[in-house]
Structure 1
Amino acid sequence: MNDQQYDQFLHIHTTENKPKFPRLAHYYPYEPTPYDVLDLCFDKIELEKNDGFVDFGSGKGRVTFYVNYRFHISTVGIEMNENYVQEALQNKVQYSMEHNLQNESVRFLNAKAEQYKVQPTDNIFFFFNPFSIQIFRKVVNNILKSYQKNPRKMYVMLYYPSFEYIQFLRNETHFEVVRDVLVSNDSTYNMHERVIILEYKEMIFT
């Protein structure tokens, strides 16, 4: 299925991408993650029923709905643009009519990523290069503070990651790469066109 067909299957509308606000210094314009990339990305990780998924820079909610539908887990999208949040909530109405959410939920919050209070149940964090390294550091530090209060299995998933993201996680945190997969592109080679999954592995000294 192409992106439009996948949207129709999920009963959501996320393919049209008309900018809703001018580019800001540290926040990058929304661009929906291609569904074929999502298939590739989530073929590389097993999510369990108690996992909590967070998409930072969720836009109209494509990734949030995809993960909820595929794994039947609770998902939340964090988006600073109120217009996109409203579109995501409209999508939720249609999605909820067609899919039984049962005990899991789909939520959208209108907030800057660094303002989001990471919950003890949040443990899978997705980023499609949504903002600068300065904001990314703040978000990851919030994640790590939550871990200190509630240790748990945690993963960071990066699509089209910047060098700064990777360098920071590798050199200044205990996140370690467990999957690094190039996204196939027959026309050109782009080393950024990849999915990287990192797991938090805190060192324990005895």
Structure 2
Amino acid sequence: MNEHETDRLLGIRTAGIQDWGLRSIHDNRYEATPYEGLEALVEEYRISKTSSVVDFGCGKGRTAFYINHRTGTFVTGVEMDGQLYLDALENRELYMIKKKNRLRGSVTFIRSRAEEYRVNPIDDVFYFFNPFSVSLFARVLSNILESMEECPRTVDLILYYPTLDYLSHLENHSPFVHVKDVLVPELAEKNPNERFSIWRFDRSK
């Protein structure tokens, strides 16, 4: 199925790219993760039903809805842009209608800058599709690590289309360890960046 067909299956509207124009140099444009990528991710990286996933720069909510649909876990989308946040809320209403009484877990959206998001002690999977500069990424990572100090647990980071800046920061300035890459079939054959890079830190030990 193409992205419009999968959108219809979920009852949502998430296609398209949104460029910010003249905005902060720290914030990148909106572009949803391709569905074929999300399918590969949930097939190779098992997300527990008891996990709490946070999608930073969630846009219209595609990743949040797809992960909830496939795994039944709890997903929180964090979005700073007012219009995209409203689009995500509208999609949530449509998604709830489509799922009726079959909704497992939950999908929630918060309008906030990523670095101001208060990390919940149960949050244990964090998703990034290059939503902002590496300096903001470092601040978000610091918040996650602070939460892990207060509530020791294992945390995974999932980076789609990972940039060298993000990877370098994780490797050289964080306790997270690279676990695996999940390639997006066909797309990765033409572009090796079409992959998910998964990193983990077990603070419970």
State the TM-score, normalizing by the size of structure 2.
0.92
Paired with 1:20 and 1:178, the residues of 2 have a C-alpha distance of 33
Instruction: Describe the superposition over 1:32-63 as per-residue Cα deviations: whole angstroms up to 9, x where unpaired.
Output: 11000111122221111210000000000000
Write the letter of the residue equivalent to 1:60: K
The residue number in structure 2 matching 1:116 is: 117
Paired with 2:194 and 2:32, the residues of 1 have a C-alpha distance of 14
The residue number in structure 2 matching 1:40 is: 40
Please identify which structure carries the higher helix content. Answer: 2
Write the letter of the residue equivalent to 2:7: D
Deviation at 1:183, TM superposition (A): 2.9
Give the conservation status (yes or no) of the 8 Å contact 1:72–1:101. no
Aligned residue pairs, count: 204
Which 4+ runs in 1 deviate beyond 6 A?
none
Deviation at 1:153, TM superposition (A): 1.8
SS at match of 2:122: coil
Paired with 2:41 and 2:139, the residues of 1 have a C-alpha distance of 24
Deviation at 1:172, TM superposition (A): 1.8
More displaced 10-residue stretch of structure 1: 139-148 or 177-186: 177-186
Paired with 1:164 and 1:35, the residues of 2 have a C-alpha distance of 25
Paired with 1:47 and 1:142, the residues of 2 have a C-alpha distance of 22
Structure 1 residues without counterparts, runs of 5 or longer: none
Deviation at 1:24, TM superposition (A): 2.4
The residue number in structure 2 matching 1:49 is: 49
**RMSD between aligned alpha carbons?**
2.0
The residue number in structure 2 matching 1:90 is: 90
SS at match of 2:44: coil
State the TM-score, normalizing by the size of structure 1.
0.91
SS at match of 2:31: coil
Instruction: Describe the superposition over 1:132-185 as per-residue Cα deviations: whole angstroms up to 9, x where unpaired.
Output: 100000001100000011111210000011111111111222211111133344
More displaced 10-residue stretch of structure 1: 183-192 or 56-65: 183-192
Paired with 1:43 and 1:160, the residues of 2 have a C-alpha distance of 18
The residue number in structure 2 matching 1:167 is: 168
The residue number in structure 1 matching 2:9 is: 9
Write the letter of the residue equivalent to 2:76: V
What pairs up with 1:119-138 in 2 under 5 angstroms? Answer: 119-138=120-139
Residue 70 (str. 1) matches residue 49 (str. 2) = no
Give the conservation status (yes or no) of the 8 Å contact 1:7–1:14. yes
Give the conservation status (yes or no) of the 8 Å contact 1:52–1:121. yes
Deviation at 1:19, TM superposition (A): 3.7
Percent identity over paired residues: 37
More displaced 10-residue stretch of structure 1: 36-45 or 52-61: 36-45
Deviation at 1:23, TM superposition (A): 4.1
Give the conservation status (yes or no) of the 8 Å contact 2:153–2:204. no
Write the letter of the residue equivalent to 1:126: Y
Deviation at 1:71, TM superposition (A): 0.9
Instruction: Describe the superposition over 1:61-114 as per-residue Cα deviations: whole angstroms up to 9, x where unpaired.
Output: 000111111111111100110100001100111101121365622111111100
Structure 2 residues without counterparts, runs of 5 or longer: none
SS at match of 2:118: coil
